Structure 1
Amino acid sequence: MTEPHLPGGYTSDELTTLLAQACEELGLDGGRPRLLRGHTNAVVLLGAVVLKIARKGTTPQTLERTVALVRWLQDQGFPTVPFHPTARQPLHLADGALATVWTYLPQPANPITAADLAAPLAALHRLHTPPVPVRQLDNLTAIRRSLATTRTLDAEDWDFLSHRADQLEHALTQVEYVLAPSIVQGDPQHRNALHDTAGDLTVLCDWDTVALGQPEWDLVTVEIHCRRFGYGPRHWADFADGYGTDVTTWPGYRVLRDIRELRMITTNARKAAHTPGSLSEVQRRIKGLREEEDALLWSIL
């Protein structure tokens, strides 16, 4: 029987080997590693260091672009989780595995709210174009790429999602944006921000999805997380007040919302083969789309 894959697509033995190698490289004893996040990458706490092991197959160029971007953000004084100051970035581990090394920020009891995201996200959208390579945001291409490699859906669900992508691609050509293009985080949400208690501010993290595009995409993403994951309308209203724009009143909102939700579903469908138990949630979300249940609560995957 094949061993189920763990975060990043690594087996438990592979992950143990990578952690031991990283500890040796960083001069850590590696006594009690703790998995902080494990959906796509393996994010592990090692003492006062957070090691983010990129998913299998990540190229050095991809991580080098992320490192260059985060260093630029730090140079701008932007509120991002900082790299560990002494670690080599990125870290090259066994069998082509790659990792980045971050400073651990202990979190207080109060969780991140949507309102906490408003100031750093607005600051990000005001930045000039960075002098490092950043991809263009293209949700529809990402959706089609996920569908092309998905092996967990039946033909009826696959056809439904593919047809929906075609419809939304056409609808997107009619959307007129009102905000200036900018750098976008790509997946701003409660779990991709942290409290920095030393500086009494909120910092953004997880720069894997950063791109150049329309700020409306980021705003729609925050709204979806408030509505779909049970945070409630007050969370969204407080964010919109803090940011200064309520994207739900904009005529293009529904098209971008539907594309963003479709991307979330197709991404999780693609990953379902390596995430035991997630397929039933993906199927429940697809059923909700069919029945136009805009208020259906989703479970976090």
Structure 2
Amino acid sequence: MNTPRDAALNALRTACRRAGIDASGAESIRFSENAIYRLPKGVVARVTREGRFQTAAKEVRVARWLESAGVPAVRVVPDLDQPVEADGRAVTFWRELPPHEYGTSVDVAAALRVLHGLTPPAHFELPPLAPFVQLAQRIDQADMFTPEEHDWLRERLEDLERGYAELPPGLPHRVVHGDAWVGNVLSTGDGRVILADFERSALGPPEWDLVSTAVKYDTLGGISEDQYAEFVAIYGHDVMSWKGFPVLRDIRELRMVTMAAQIGMENPAMRGEATARLAAIRGESGPRPWRHWRPLS
């Protein structure tokens, strides 16, 4: 049987042949929303799920734009026409980073302040922010939920779509990262903070980037009140003081539930995490913060 991991590795090998890149000894780094591999000569390959070519092309354009603007970010392999299509998937090739670790909430604030201060690119058009992308599909495919739970999730999605369309005025729309958590803001041993993963980059409300750290504080209890206050001080704005915050928080929480469900479809050990997260957003686990949520793997 051809597993999802097998399919991703086959696509990688095909793309490497087409791009003239050595795929020997490809080492799996991570397998989640995308499959990430370490290749020889300091190259890292990113293999998407099927049907994501345009998104991968956007990632490459954003990375090249940030490089031209002098913003520390992951860099694509130069002089290579990419993404490379293989078996319905998009494969992109990146320069391997030096040793690094996840950033801190302060690193996220500093990186977002730089990103949100940029003038949007003139040579290509970014799409509007799409906070609900893939949610309906993930809900429909999540077989660990009961029919009643599926109905509740679909109604919740509809409610939040209406809420997002009616958000009160906030900060001026800018280029947003789209998934600005500490795993996408990397700290290197030489003191640099590097932005990564531009799959969700778009034009939209900067509050969407800020809400990830607010959720880490308010929903998960993953950082302290003092750490959140430092985040606010570095960025210069507290998204939790905005009237639209509950809507964006609830959208982010719903995304976290459905991401656990998607991973649970491929990794049975995570199915219980999906149901536990759903119980929490339904009010069955008491008030926030919900410190029992486990990292996805």
TM-score, normalised to structure 2's length? 0.85
Pairing 1:139–2:131 present: yes
Pairing 1:191–2:183 present: yes
Structure-2 change in CA distance of 1:4 and 1:97 (3 Å): closer
> Counterpart in 1 of 2:93?
101
Counterpart selection for 1:206 from 197, 201, 206: 197
Q: Partner of 1:51: helix, strand, or coil?
A: strand
> Counterpart in 2 of 1:40?
33
> Counterpart in 2 of 1:115?
106
Q: Partner of 2:28: helix, strand, or coil?
A: strand
Do the aligned residues in 2 keep the contact of 1:23 with 1:29 (CA within 8 Å)? yes
Pairing 1:300–2:295 present: yes
In the alignment, the residues of structure 2 paired with residue 103 and residue 251 of structure 1 have an alpha-carbon distance, to the nearest angstrom, of: 41
Aligned length: 289
In the alignment, the residues of structure 2 paired with residue 239 and residue 98 of structure 1 have an alpha-carbon distance, to the nearest angstrom, of: 35
Pairing 1:77–2:70 present: yes
> Counterpart in 1 of 2:4?
5
Structure 2: state its 5+ residue gaps.
none
Could you tell me how far 1:255 is from its partner in structure 2? 1.9
In the alignment, the residues of structure 1 paired with residue 295 and residue 60 of structure 2 have an alpha-carbon distance, to the nearest angstrom, of: 28
Counterpart selection for 2:151 from 141, 144, 159: 159
Aligned residue identity for 1:154 = T
Q: Partner of 1:209: helix, strand, or coil?
A: coil
In the alignment, the residues of structure 2 paired with residue 142 and residue 68 of structure 1 have an alpha-carbon distance, to the nearest angstrom, of: 22
Aligned residue identity for 1:82 = R
Aligned residue identity for 2:171 = L
Pairing 1:66–2:59 present: yes
In the alignment, the residues of structure 2 paired with residue 17 and residue 138 of structure 1 have an alpha-carbon distance, to the nearest angstrom, of: 30
Identity of aligned residues (%): 31
Could you tell me how far 1:76 is from its partner in structure 2? 1.6
Structure 1: state its 5+ residue gaps.
none
TM-score, normalised to structure 1's length? 0.84
Do the aligned residues in 1 keep the contact of 2:221 with 2:289 (CA within 8 Å)? no
In the alignment, the residues of structure 2 paired with residue 210 and residue 90 of structure 1 have an alpha-carbon distance, to the nearest angstrom, of: 16
Q: Could you report, residue by residue, the CA deviation over 1:163-205 in whole angstroms, capped at 9, with x for unpaired residues?
A: 223333444455323211111111101111222445x321111
Q: Counterparts of 1:254-265 in structure 2 under 5 Å? A: 254-265=246-257
Q: Could you report, residue by residue, the CA deviation over 1:67-111 in whole angstroms, capped at 9, with x for unpaired residues?
A: 222212221222211112344422334x34321111111224x64
In the alignment, the residues of structure 2 paired with residue 138 and residue 29 of structure 1 have an alpha-carbon distance, to the nearest angstrom, of: 34
Do the aligned residues in 2 keep the contact of 1:49 with 1:102 (CA within 8 Å)? yes
Structure-2 change in CA distance of 1:136 and 1:29 (3 Å): closer
Aligned residue identity for 1:192 = N
Aligned residue identity for 1:300 = P
Do the aligned residues in 2 keep the contact of 1:56 with 1:97 (CA within 8 Å)? yes
Structure-2 change in CA distance of 1:174 and 1:197 (3 Å): same
Counterpart selection for 2:170 from 178, 190, 193: 178
Q: Could you report, residue by residue, the CA deviation over 1:216-242 in whole angstroms, capped at 9, with x for unpaired residues?
A: 111011222345556322442322221
Aligned residue identity for 2:4 = H
Q: Partner of 2:240: helix, strand, or coil?
A: helix
> Counterpart in 2 of 1:224?
215
Could you tell me how far 1:38 is from its partner in structure 2? 1.3
In the alignment, the residues of structure 2 paired with residue 58 and residue 171 of structure 1 have an alpha-carbon distance, to the nearest angstrom, of: 27
Do the aligned residues in 2 keep the contact of 1:229 with 1:299 (CA within 8 Å)? no
> Counterpart in 2 of 1:89?
82
Q: Could you report, residue by residue, the CA deviation over 1:263-297 in whole angstroms, capped at 9, with x for unpaired residues?
A: 22124324532233222111000111122532112
Could you tell me how far 1:159 is from its partner in structure 2? 1.6
Pairing 1:30–2:4 present: no
In the alignment, the residues of structure 2 paired with residue 58 and residue 46 of structure 1 have an alpha-carbon distance, to the nearest angstrom, of: 22
Mean Cα displacement is larger for which, 275-284 or 22-31?
Answer: 22-31
Q: Could you report, residue by residue, the CA deviation over 1:130-177 in whole angstroms, capped at 9, with x for unpaired residues?
A: 232322113246433433444442112112222223333444455323
Do the aligned residues in 1 keep the contact of 2:140 with 2:150 (CA within 8 Å)? no
